[in-house]
Amino acid sequence: MFGAGGGTCSYREAEDADLIVMWGSNAREAHPIFFHHVLKAVRKGARMYAVDPRRTTSAQWADAWLGINVGSDISLANAIGREIIHAGLANTDFIARATSGFEAYAASVEPYTLEVAERDTGVPADLIRQLAHDYARAGRAQICWTLGITEHHNASDNVFALINLALLTGHVGRYGSGLVPLRGQNNVQGGGDMGALPNKLPGFQDVETDTDARARFEAVYGEPLPARRGWHLSQMFEAMERGELTACYIIGENPVRSEADTGRTKELLSGLEHLVVQDIFLTDTAAIADVVLPATATWCETEGTVTSSERRVQRVRKALDPPGGARDDIEIIGELARRLGANWGPVTAEQAWDELRSLSPMHGGMSYARLEALGGLQWPCYDEEHPGELFLHARLWEADPARRGAPAPFTPVSQEPPLDELSAEFPLRLTTGRRLDSFNTGVQSGKYATPIRRPETLNLSPEDAAELGVAESEVVRISSRRGSIEAPVHVDSTLRRGLAFMTLHFPEQVATNILTLDAWDPKSGTAEFKATAIRVDRIADIPAGGAGDEHAKVGA
Amino acid sequence: MSAVFVEAPKRLVDVTIDGATVRVPEGSTLLDACRQQGIDTPTLCFLENLTPVNVCRVCVVEVEGSRTLVPSCSRKVEPGMAVHTDSDRVRTSRRMVLEFLASTVDVSLAGPDVGRWMAEYGADPARYGDPAPPHQAGQRDAARPGEHPVPDGSAAATVAQPVKYDNDSYVRDYSRCILCYKCVEACGPDAQNTFAIAVAGRGFDARISTEFDVTLPDSACVYCGNCIGVCPTGALMFASEYRMRRDGTWDDDGQTVTTTVCPYCGVGCNLELHVQDNQIVKVTSPLDHDVTSGHLCVKGRFGFEFVQRRADAG
Amino acid sequence: MDLRLGVPAPATEQERAAVASVLGPAASGWDGGDRTPADGHMAVGGRAAREQRHLLLPVLHAVQERIGWISPGAVDHICARLTIPPAEAYGVASFYALFRTEPSPVAVVHVCDDVACRADGAERTCQEMERRFGPEGQGAAANGSGVTWQRSPCLGQCDHGSAALIQHAGADPARVVLAPFDPEQVRAALVPGTGVGSGGTAVPQAAADRSGLRLLRRVGQVEPGSIDAYRSAGGYEMLRRAVTAGPQGVLRELKDAKLVGRGGAAFPTGVKWEAVATNPVREHFVVCNADESEPGTFKDRVLMEQDPFALIEALTIMGYTCGARRGYIYIRGEYPIAESRLVEAVRQATDRGLLGADVLGEGFAFDIEVRRGAGAYIAGEETALFNSIEGKRAEPRNKPPFPAASGLFGKPTAINNVETLLCVLEVLRIGGPAFAAIGTANSTGTRLFCLSGAVRQPGLYEHDFGVTLREVIEAAGGLRDGRSLRAVLLGGAAGSFVGPDALDVPLTMEDLRVIGATLGSGVVVVIDDTVDVTDLLVRIARFFRDESCGQCVPCRVGTVRQEELLGRLARGAPLGSVQREIELFADIAAVTRDASICGLGQTAVSALSSALSLNLVGASGQADGGRGLA
């Protein structure tokens, strides 16, 4: 946001917020301990809104739930913005002092009347108005989101739509107010921090425009760095398709299971000239690799750091001896470098970290000693006197223009429906999400047993189940424009007519991603997992070699 | 500029504890003040990450001018308070609370402090006579409020009853339950807000229960383990620990505890891995970690198995 | 709230209807109603939904009355309607003795066998009940007769010799009080339409010299069901006077009167009200504690049954003075007649503009809700009472904070019992200084005494403070012929025994404190030489064991250990020696008195303590236990 990619708030600020909007986030199940902080706020009297197609366990805590149609987030956000402007509730002082592009934004939201938003989202106009007014009037307000915002083909636009609301009301850069994207994995934030982005060096320093930074890295590395951004994930697959990308080194990722449109993913990876997979398991991706490098589990078999959703860098530590043959990631990379001709000698995690600190100013003050003593530090933390920052962008509230710095830009965006359109043939909207006990493709979570674990199901509304004539636990065929799978039905009263739900947790049982569309957001590279058009057929009704099968292209 | 949030400074309050003047921030409890003075104050139902319920009464102190003893865990300091922590009244009440509990509940896994306090205060749980025979399964759960069989006093009533072992994650041994309410608070408003368990019944028949005593799998339980995390007596235990203890393989002294970060979502919960023989045997979280306050979710608490089951990985 | 709902046997139509009779129809498919397409795109809930928790007891009562027990399906549906976790709702339902959480016969007879009724053959009555209806406490599975019975703590009918309460569930539910009670009456009382039963009152003074009556002045003189009758007798003049004087004026009168609460703690009423009136936190509540449950006490019942408008008027004055818009009367579930009269009185007062948005046309708003308890002595403790109104288990809260700072719903709250509130009317009627002139210097005004036991005329008496125990007993006709006084249980089960040497002590707060006794709720149980005191003590010990909420260790375990110890003494089978038992009891008493959270635990040992010091305890079954233990 306005530069560095991280949530603006700390979790503890949620406890002191007056209004929390959970937008496309089922944190109750996907980020349960963050939700504890939200619940503390709720117990203290904060109001909570939930925006989600499903009335999730998070939404059930809300004062009001806005059950939008899948992919109508921008229409809703723009209508909220328009309503705030028309009701005279915009923070005009803040807008004038700290932002740019307001006029264009105001013009861009003008078509999004409450009526238009009601039509697009299905949510009554009165409730949208109420959210708009409550958000604008709240003393401290936060918008929290997760993959319900970002797993769309227009993910970045969705995020901009929410940022615009914060700028419109001044709900950013102050204690308790802000924008809170919750990270899906324990070090997604850290990966970004460390420069695992196509266009960034560690510390969010731009590889193309920040020549000073590049020079500092080159000085330390003793090698020139390419001054050109790389590909993001979706572009890499496209490059494979074009034959431009022929070798891949994958560390701790299982794209065969986690990417949308599994069939295509597997085909492309299999077609590479050389595939190296470094993982703690022999994953489905590792199974098709030319070389597999067994690694240690970073969170308990090795030393290092990870960064959480509140930009807090914390230590991970070795508690277990790894199984025989598994080696630390740093050691593997060092060994690889040695064989490629760069002998770094043995490198400890702390040494690697100290080098990073010397190159990434925002991590400069985070010595291991301080991380130990303080239980982690939140970036930016420039030097060893710096306590780290609880929240970002306080500068926007500075009276002195010099200290205030560059204005935060509004980014006008417009509503676009999901790419996978509903039709008579594919009349149901399938959306995907997480369950409390499971995680992503189940590589980690599938190994422990818990009484709340349920196998994969196709969740249908009571109305659709009745209309289709299917009973609880009955196995049905689910087809999208890309393929078909089978799964048992679960009748789920948190769903409305026309909306279906599955997880991605049990690929061995049900490969949900055979159905999903690999259309991706050009700005972030995220695929549209959240909006698939499907049809559901009773197995008994499918003639052999009939309608359901013609779409099947299940990877062997 | 710095965006560090600065809280309003707190006024300091002077109180007298056992004759010594102690200066503590406004809003502190008497327990805080006693601890600041290094006075060993027994507590059972108190835990730093939970709202004090002040029900066990073992932390009582004498405040001059107060008709009865007051619970130090919840009573806030007031300027000029004069407090006695070692008077006869205090010692008698602490001894009796410990004696009452130990004569009704199995406190053998309640930790070394309890044994130490019992010795220090001279608690003698045997002086109420032989313990009554244990209850049948479900008997205490069926007790009706306001009724009980009138005892003839020949045996001392206890809460002894069979262990509840209705799932593979948790074991509930309510023979060890001192009714400190911690599990109810952790499952409820202080952390998890799931409310799978509550206190049911009343008086000596009060017990921790799901609705109508349904099994945990039939309850709202989400197996976060936060109730176990706060249980002071071993009444609630991870099934794995229960089995190891039963089999005699649990070895407190042979365990290391390492703090690291959970491998699942991006919240960054700190985990304390309790490791014995290169196996994780239990997961807790530091009470003073301000992300978790000691509370975890089911993945953080139980989801470690994958590192120990690489062989059958897929 | 993410409730986990859905049980194998969902609520029946009858159960749903019972719930809807309190809550009205469900607003949406999300809270127990039928799903509509609109539900698919919105839901409201959150705090507003959770704030309905206070309706839990009324709803549980509705189901109990309709079905006879509260099933898992009913709890599930209630939880959907009110956004309450099922485990919590069960925790509440299983706390109160008038709720049943297992299948039950539709009629439950609660037979009082408490201190007053024991003297009148309650044990024989219980034996007769067992002969007719089978063993005590049978559930529906074992009992096909549709009637079960159980022993009950004091039903507040001590002036009638014996008493029973029948809970009769069904489409036309009834709570029938039978006092005096004869098991022969049970079947007849189950015929629908029999109504609320006999009840009645005994105010002997009302038939004789009425000149000294202040709180009882209208009893037996004014029709209790008519607001017009009440107003003809001077009713609502005091509210007018209060409004004229303004809140400050009322507070001044109360302070001048030196009125203190009649519930036992003797806190100055004016100071209590002022603390609420001046608290800047809004909103404020006023509560009448009508949960009179102290064994041997029935005074508030008589006042509510015979003079309900007086309570309504006094509570309205309290609301006006304390700046509250809403008042609650929490009345024990064992008082159906008093409850119905209060509900009717509230209705009539509302109709006449004496409650509502503009009381008396004076521009202040005040409403009263009558809330019914469900069989829990502990709910009479003020903070437990708040919890009960809030739909929780009636567990006392630790104090501080006191109610004036944080009471009902966490807001500043003034709470007084019925007798105290009626004193307020008297203060306003005659003026604070005149009130202060009655009684003694520090105990002003009059006091109600509940006489039971071995006196000729049990009943409710009013005397000026300063009266001696001897005079109180003589006013009740003295002891029955040929009996001699052994002791008096003063203040109820939570009070203490005093011996004949205390007969001439003035019954004031300060004089009783000197001899280590208390007037408590005004109970005077007169015990003659035929009474088995040990048997009374066993009953009292059972009472506290049953009524302890179970929250704190000293009371939860101490009441058990006390009962066990008494069982041994009653059998003449001490552990070790009698002396050892007395030492053991001293320890039990010390911790229970000193470290319990609330007054229940703190007083649970006082009866036995005093009996031991008066040497009243011996092996049970001896008509003359006078030998005692020593």
C20-46 confidence digits (pLDDT tens) = 999 999 999 999 999 999 999 999 999
**pLDDT greater than 80 at residue B275:** yes
Amino acid at C249: G
Nearest residue on chain A to C4, judged by CA atoms?
A: A57
> What's the pLDDT band for B147 if we cut at 50, 70, 90?
very high
| Residue length of chain B | 314
Structure confidence at residue C626 (pLDDT): 42
Whichever domain contains B202, its CATH number is 3.30.70.20
Whether residue C182 is found in the same domain as residue C317: no
Whether residue C243 is found in the same domain as residue C306: yes
Whether residue B44 is found in the same domain as residue B120: yes
* CA distance to A324, B39, B40, B85, B218, per residue, from B120 (Å): 51, 14, 11, 14, 44
Structure confidence at residue A552 (pLDDT): 39
Residue C101 lies in a domain: no
Whether residue C413 is found in the same domain as residue C521: no
β pairing state of C164-168 and C284-290: unpaired
Whether residue C317 is found in the same domain as residue C335: yes
Q: Give the separation between CA C373 and CA C384, rounded to whole angstroms.
A: 11
CB contact under 8 A, B54 and C398: yes
Whether residue B24 is found in the same domain as residue B127: yes
Whether residue C172 is found in the same domain as residue C121: yes
* CA distance to B96, B266, C112, per residue, from B124 (Å): 9, 51, 38
Identify the CA nearest to C49 among candidates C103, C1, C101. Answer: C1
A369, with CB counted inside 10 A (0-12, 13-18, 19+), is exposed
Whether residue B110 is found in the same domain as residue B65: yes
Q: How far is B258 from chain C (nearest CA, A)?
A: 34
Whether residue C519 is found in the same domain as residue C544: no
CB atoms within 10 A of CB A488: 18
Structure confidence at residue A545 (pLDDT): 54
Quote the mean pLDDT of chain C: 93
* End-of-domain residue from the set B114, B132, B150: B132
CA angle B113, B116, B119 (to 5 degrees): 150
Nearest residue on chain C to A62, judged by CA atoms?
A: C46
Q: Which of A35, A42, A43, A61 to mutate to test the interface with C (most CBs of C within 10 A)?
A: A61
Residue C6 lies in a domain: no
CA angle B167, B169, B173 (to 5 degrees): 75
**pLDDT greater than 80 at residue C604:** yes
Residue B296 lies in a domain: yes
Query: Which residue segment(s) compose the domain that B74 sits in?
Result: 11-132
pLDDT tens digit string along B53-96? 999 999 999 999 999 999 999 999 999 999 999 999 999 999 99
Which are the contacts of B190, defined by CB distance < 8 A and separation ≥ 6?
B49, B50, B51
CB contact under 8 A, B178 and C101: no
Identify the CA nearest to A513 among candidates A470, A468, A471, A553. Answer: A553
Structure confidence at residue B312 (pLDDT): 52
CB atoms within 10 A of CB A514: 22
CB contact under 8 A, C554 and B93: yes
Whether residue C372 is found in the same domain as residue C512: no
Structure confidence at residue A107 (pLDDT): 98
CB B125 within 8 A of CB B157: no
CB A302 within 8 A of CB A349: yes
Structure confidence at residue C202 (pLDDT): 72
Of the ranges A537-541, B182-186, B306-310, which is most confident? B182-186
Residue B147 lies in a domain: no
Whichever domain contains C555, its CATH number is 1.20.1440.230
Choose the closest CB to C41 out of A57, A60, A67.
A67
Task: Retrieve residue C527's tokens.
Answer: 């015990």
Choose the closest CB to C97 out of B92, B127, B146.
B146
Residue B137 lies in a domain: no
Q: Give the separation between CA C512 and CA C509, rounded to whole angstroms.
A: 6
Whether residue C284 is found in the same domain as residue C428: yes
Identify the CA nearest to A161 among candidates A390, A416, A407. Answer: A416
Nearest residue on chain B to C138, judged by CA atoms?
A: B144
Whether residue B107 is found in the same domain as residue B171: no
Q: Which of B210, B255, B261 to mutate to test the interface with A (most CBs of A within 10 A)?
A: B261
What is the gyration radius of the CA atoms in chain A, in angstroms?
24
Chain A residues within an 8 Å CB radius of C30: 55
Residue B152 lies in a domain: no
CB atoms within 10 A of CB A344: 13
Whichever domain contains B258, its CATH number is 2.20.25.90
Residue B154 lies in a domain: no
**pLDDT greater than 70 at residue B120:** yes
CB contact under 8 A, B154 and C150: no
- Burial code (b: 16+ CB inside 10 Å, e: under 16) for A209-233 equals ebeebbebbeeeeeeeeeeeeeebb
Whichever domain contains C134, its CATH number is 3.40.30.10
Residue C77 lies in a domain: yes
Chain B residues within an 8 Å CB radius of A316: 260-261
Alpha-helical segments (H) within C327-443: 336-351, 382-389, 418-430, 432-436
Choose the closest CB to B263 out of A39, A282, A299.
A299
Whichever domain contains C410, its CATH number is 3.40.50.11540
Identify the CA nearest to B93 among candidates C595, C121, A220. Answer: C595
CB of A64 within 8 Å of any CB in chain C? yes
Q: How far is C408 from chain B (nearest CA, A)?
A: 18
Whether residue C289 is found in the same domain as residue C351: yes
Percent of chain C with pLDDT over 70: 97
Distance, CA of C496 to chain centre: 19
Structure confidence at residue B260 (pLDDT): 97
Residue C171 lies in a domain: yes
Whether residue B193 is found in the same domain as residue B173: yes
CB atoms within 10 A of CB A339: 9
More confident residue, B219 or B1: B219
> What's the pLDDT band for B7 if we cut at 50, 70, 90?
low
* End-of-domain residue from the set C490, C513, C528: C528
* End-of-domain residue from the set C134, C164, C189: C189
Q: How many domains does chain B have?
A: 3
Whether residue C183 is found in the same domain as residue C124: yes
Whether residue B192 is found in the same domain as residue B301: no
Residue B295 lies in a domain: yes
CB contact under 8 A, C42 and A66: yes
Chain A residues within an 8 Å CB radius of C35: 462-463, 493
H or E element at residue B172: strand B170-172
Q: How many domains does chain C have?
A: 5
* CA distance to A42, A459, C84, C588, per residue, from C1 (Å): 11, 21, 8, 43
Identify the CA nearest to C147 among candidates C104, C113, C99. Answer: C104
Residue B201 lies in a domain: yes
> What's the pLDDT band for B6 if we cut at 50, 70, 90?
low
Structure confidence at residue A529 (pLDDT): 83
Choose the closest CB to B266 out of A189, A323, A392.
A189
Whether residue C288 is found in the same domain as residue C162: no
Residue B117 lies in a domain: yes
CB contact under 8 A, C553 and B57: yes
Over residues C132-152, the mean pLDDT reads 86
Chain A residues within an 8 Å CB radius of C85: none
* End-of-domain residue from the set C189, C207, C240: C189
B246, with CB counted inside 10 A (0-12, 13-18, 19+), is exposed
CB A166 within 8 A of CB A179: yes
Given the cut 0.90, state whether the ipTM is greater than it: yes
CB contact under 8 A, B151 and C567: yes
Q: Give the separation between CA B55 and CA B61, rounded to whole angstroms.
A: 14
Instruction: Reduce the secondary structure of A273-341 to three states and give it as a string.
Output: CEEEEEECCCCHHHHCCCEEEEECCCCCCCCEEEECCCCEEEEECCCCCCCCCCECHHHHHHHHHHHCC
Choose the closest CB to B223 out of A31, A183, A450.
A450
Residue C219 lies in a domain: no
Task: Retrieve residue A245's tokens.
Answer: 């990308």
H or E element at residue C329: strand C324-331
Whether residue B222 is found in the same domain as residue B258: no
Nearest residue on chain B to C91, judged by CA atoms?
A: B200
Chain B residues within an 8 Å CB radius of A317: 258-260
* End-of-domain residue from the set B87, B117, B132: B132
Choose the closest CB to A394 out of B1, B264, B291.
B1
pLDDT tens digit string along B249-260? 999 999 999 999
3 state DSSP class of B1: coil
Structure confidence at residue A376 (pLDDT): 95
Structure confidence at residue A2 (pLDDT): 56
**Residue ranges for chain A with pLDDT beneath 70:** 1-5, 524-525, 544-556
Strand partners, A314: A306
CB atoms within 10 A of CB A88: 8
Q: Give the separation between CA A304 and CA B261, rounded to whole angstroms.
A: 10
Instruction: Reduce the secondary structure of A422-478 to three states and give it as a string.
Output: CCCCCCEEEEEECCCCCCCCCCCHHHCCCCCCCCCCEEECHHHHHHHCCCCCCEEEE
CB C625 within 8 A of CB C611: no
**pLDDT greater than 90 at residue C144:** no
pLDDT tens digit string along C464-479? 999 999 999 999 999 9
Whether residue B99 is found in the same domain as residue B204: no
Whether residue C539 is found in the same domain as residue C513: no
Residue C559 lies in a domain: yes
Query: Which residue segment(s) compose the domain that C602 sits in?
Result: 533-627
Choose the closest CB to B307 out of A320, A390, A450.
A320
CB C450 within 8 A of CB C468: no
Domains of chain A: 11-181 (3.40.228.10), 188-308+312-378 (3.40.50.740), 428-551 (2.40.40.20)
CB A514 within 8 A of CB A456: no
pLDDT tens digit string along C390-400? 999 999 999 99
Identify the CA nearest to B19 among candidates B3, B39, B4. Answer: B39
* CB–CB contacts below 8 A, B to C: 214
Over residues C115-143, the mean pLDDT reads 88
Which are the contacts of C110, defined by CB distance < 8 A and separation ≥ 6?
C149, C150, C151, C152, C155, C164, C165, C166, C167, C334
* CA distance to B166, C255, C381, C508, per residue, from C264 (Å): 48, 18, 11, 12
